[in-house]
Structure 1
């Protein structure tokens, strides 16, 4: 039962690298660049990287605002 609760919490609060890239509509390389530039934080445990869902959703909103500002005609 405890494992199930932990999995529910993971699903609720975190995204994997792949899920994050898909959600943001960017490549894994672009995601890596965001992390390196300090635009998005990740949590690493061994070879696994997780992203806080709230941070990813915030970045998605910022990304939309930046696109409207710098590409108003697309």
Structure 2
């Protein structure tokens, strides 16, 4: 029972790399670039990287604003 609860918490608060990229609508390479530039924080455990959902939701909102500013024609 404790294992299911832990998995539920992980799914509630974190995205994997693939899920994060899909959520933001960007490639994994672009996601990696955002991490390297300090725009998004990741948590690493061994070879697994996890991203906080709240951080990604904030970044997605920011992307909408940036796209309107720099691509007003789309």
TM-score w.r.t. structure 2 length?
A: 0.99
Q: What is aligned with 2:21?
A: 21
TM normalised by structure 1 equals 0.99
Cα distance in 2 for partners of 1:45, 1:7 equals: 15
> Which runs of no fewer than 5 residues in structure 2 stay unpaired?
none
What SS is found at the alignment partner of 1:50? strand
Q: Which runs of 5+ in 1 are unaligned?
A: none
Hey, what does 2:40 align to over in structure 1? 40
Return structure 1 stretches of 4+ with deviation > 3 angstroms: none
Aligned length: 74
1:50 aligned partner = 50
RMSD: 0.3
Instruction: Give, in whole Å, the separation in 2 of the partners of 1:63 and 1:39.
Output: 11
Q: Secondary structure at the match of 1:72?
A: coil
1:2 aligns with 2:2: yes
| 1:16-70 Cα deviation digits (max 9, x unpaired) | 0000000000000000000000000000000000000000000000001000011
